[in-house]
Amino acid sequence: MAASPSSERISVALANSFNYAMGYGTAMVSEQQFDYEALLDRAKKKLPHTLEAHDRFQVPEPDVMIEGKSTVIRNFGDIADALRREPNHLLGYLLRELGTAGTLDGRRMIFKGKVGTAQVAERIKSYVDEYVLCSECNRPDTKIVKDDRILILVCETCGAHRPVHVKKQVKSTEEAKEIESGKVYDMMIEDVGKKGDGIARKGNFIIYVPGTAKGTQVKVRIEKVSGTVAFGVRMS
Ligand SMILES: [Zn+2]
């Protein structure tokens, strides 16, 4: 390193402090031995991921296309890659959440029924909350490990552990209360199904309301709830 005496002193001081941070004795490293760049790299890797790492976490917006009676997520593979999760795991989750059947087709996912981009994006966000983000530091650098029969989300950034189903259980009890048979709710009819019934959504529920048109705001009395599907009657 061809540096002036003063900057050389600073480099040595930095190197020593990095060594200290990394748990090495300062005596181990002499001026000739250390490679400043490599040391800096290693020190950076040892440091907790910074906000920068969080900002880099971008889940691609699902590229959703309706094909006949099916929906295709064209960039499904990219989404799974960004989340660092098995495509089949994400696939299983989405099919369960959407209450439909589907399959992978190369890097695409195809499933039965017509679902809009917003609904798909919402389910992916739930997946990210449940299976990807650390609940302590909110970073996405996590992995899922199996401990006995329980799935544990382990954060590579802060080391926090949590079972992956905790959030879901909390959420589904909240949602179970969102729609109850016999109660009346204000709903927006977002879509119209094959048989002409209006379709509203609330949380994970899909509510069929006969005699309503897309884009109308209606009061609906819930007649029947079956899993995440409900049937309602228009009151207004
Ligand atoms: Zn964490």
Nearest of 40, 39, 31 to residue 12 by alpha carbon: 31
Q: How far is the CA of 12 from the centre of ligand 1 (A)?
A: 33
Q: How far is the CA of 166 from the centre of ligand 1 (A)?
A: 16
pLDDT at 225: 86
pLDDT at 236: 78
Please give the Cα distance from 29 to 34 (Å, whole number). 6
Superfamily of domain 179-234: Nucleic acid-binding proteins (2.40.50.140)
Q: Is the dihedral of CA 189, 126, 93, 62 positive or negative?
A: positive
With beta carbons less than 8 A apart as the criterion, state whether 75 and 121 touch. no
Q: What is the pTM of this model?
A: 0.49
Query: Exposed, middle or buried, 4 (CB in 10 Å: 0-12/13-18/19+)?
Result: exposed
pLDDT in tens, 88-123: 999 999 999 999 999 999 999 999 999 999 999 999
Residue indicated by tokens 């379709």:
199
- pLDDT-derived band at 131 (thresholds 50, 70, 90) equals very high
Q: How far is the CA of 137 from the centre of ligand 1 (A)?
A: 4
pLDDT of 75 over the 60 cut? yes
Tokens read off for 210 = 């006969």
pLDDT in tens, 132-151: 999 899 899 999 998 778 88
Query: Which strand (E) or helix (H) includes residue 80?
Result: helix 76-83
Sketch the domain layout of the chain as residue ranges: 5-47, 64-170, 179-234
Q: How far is the CA of 234 from the centre of ligand 1 (A)?
A: 46
- pLDDT-derived band at 226 (thresholds 50, 70, 90) equals confident
Q: How far is the CA of 121 from the centre of ligand 1 (A)?
A: 23
pLDDT of 40 over the 90 cut? no
Q: How far is the CA of 9 from the centre of ligand 1 (A)?
A: 36
Q: How far is the CA of 153 from the centre of ligand 1 (A)?
A: 10
Residue type, 136: E
Please give the Cα distance from 179 to 219 (Å, whole number). 13
Q: How far is the CA of 128 from the centre of ligand 1 (A)?
A: 14
- pLDDT-derived band at 61 (thresholds 50, 70, 90) equals very high
Q: How far is the CA of 156 from the centre of ligand 1 (A)?
A: 7
Q: Which residue has the higher pLDDT, 236 or 187?
A: 187
- pLDDT-derived band at 203 (thresholds 50, 70, 90) equals confident
Helix (H, G, I), strand (E, B) or coil at 102: strand
Mean pLDDT of 213-229: 89
Helix (H, G, I), strand (E, B) or coil at 64: strand
Task: For 100-234, list the strands marked E by DSSP.
Answer: 102-105, 108-112, 142-147, 150-155, 161-163, 184-192, 198-202, 205-209, 217-226, 229-234
pLDDT at 55: 57
With beta carbons less than 8 A apart as the criterion, state whether 144 and 128 touch. no
Q: What is the mean pLDDT of the chain?
A: 79
Kindly report the CATH number that applies to the domain delimited by 64-170. 3.30.70.3150
Q: How far is the CA of 214 from the centre of ligand 1 (A)?
A: 42
In this structure, the strands spanning 205-209 and 229-234 are: parallel
